[in-house]
Amino acid sequence: MYLRFTSALVLPILSCCFGKANAEPCYRFALVRDLSDAFENSLKMNPPAIPIDVNLAKQQHEDYIHVLEDLIPNVVRLDSDPHHPDCNFIEDTAIIVGDTAVISRMGALERRGEEEAVEKVLEQLNGYKIVHIDAPGTMDGGDILFTGKHLLVGLSHRTNACTLHQLQQIFLGTVEVVGIPVVEGLHLKSVVSFFDGDTLVVADTVAGMRVKEEIDAATNCAYAFLVVPDSVASNVLRVGSALIVQEGFAASEAVLKAHCESKSITMIKLNMSELIKADGALTCGSLLIN
């Protein structure tokens, strides 16, 4: 079911199945945001060799939303924001853990303001405690990986130690919050993502292996790692008994496919070529809520 956001939208919080060890993360809501007509002006770490095809990007984002619609009962869709070409990357605007929503103060000045519309929707989702990252803290949701056991906070160009301390206070006594230095690339989740409560997918790159070492050290080796050769392919999106992966990275796909088959998980492939050009991956296009 798609829901267009209206001020009358008031939805209850439903039970969470994400806290238990090895539990499948099953979500009741997904928040997504339409891709901007100005998407070619999105932030990019490197200019793409072939310019972004905005119409194709829109189609790829639609395909992504359709996959989520098949997996998640309520997909809440926000209009795009004409002033923010990156607004479809809604993951960066907030994190939701248990009954707490933390609104980002995003690391890139150009993106500040995207979070306002998201906060309005979250206010309508009855029952969430809404808190904010305060200055001088900066946070992008792409740096925050909740595993059920830990909240891993990537310390990157976009997310700083001040935010780590604020999150440690916010989740004091509920979730262990640990900092993971990210020395290269955009976000923590550019090189590592969630497979299940015990297993993370990590890129076999210098940045990925460094992050793996940091996670091992910070969590006393709490996780097994599924190592994939392609950085882009290390960002997967697990929803219930499905794993959404990037199409077009054959070697990584083979690793993920074998692991999915051994766990009876359905693998769904999506081609995100145009979103990749703006440093987008699979987790970044939605905010998933238990």
Q: Which is nearer to ligand CIR, 177 or 284 (CB)?
A: 284
> Closest residue (Cβ) to ligand CIR?
142
Closest distance between ligand CIR and the C-beta of residue 117, in Å? Answer: 16
Radius of gyration over every alpha carbon of the chain, rounded to an integer in angstroms: 17
Is the Cβ–Cβ distance between 92 and 284 less than 8 Å?
yes
Q: Which is nearer to ligand CIR, 9 or 248 (CB)?
A: 248
Closest distance between ligand CIR and the C-beta of residue 126, in Å? Answer: 26
Closest CA to 246 of 197, 190, 205, 199: 190
- Overall residue count recorded for the chain in this entry: 290
Q: Which is nearer to ligand CIR, 26 or 282 (CB)?
A: 282
Closest CA to 238 of 42, 36, 67: 67
Q: Which is nearer to ligand CIR, 193 or 290 (CB)?
A: 193
Closest distance between ligand CIR and the C-beta of residue 276, in Å? Answer: 10
Q: Which is nearer to ligand CIR, 28 or 111 (CB)?
A: 111
Interaction site with ligand CIR (CB under 6 A) = 42-43, 86, 89, 91-92, 108, 111, 141-142, 187, 278-281, 284
Closest distance between ligand CIR and the C-beta of residue 21, in Å? Answer: 26
Distance CA 60, CA 34 (A): 11
Distance CA 251, CA 36 (A): 32
Q: In DSSP terms, which residues pair with 201 in a beta bridge?
A: 193, 226
State the CB neighbour count (10 A cutoff) for residue 252.
Answer: 24
Closest distance between ligand CIR and the C-beta of residue 136, in Å? Answer: 19
**What do you get for the CA distance between the two ends of the chain, in Å?**
16
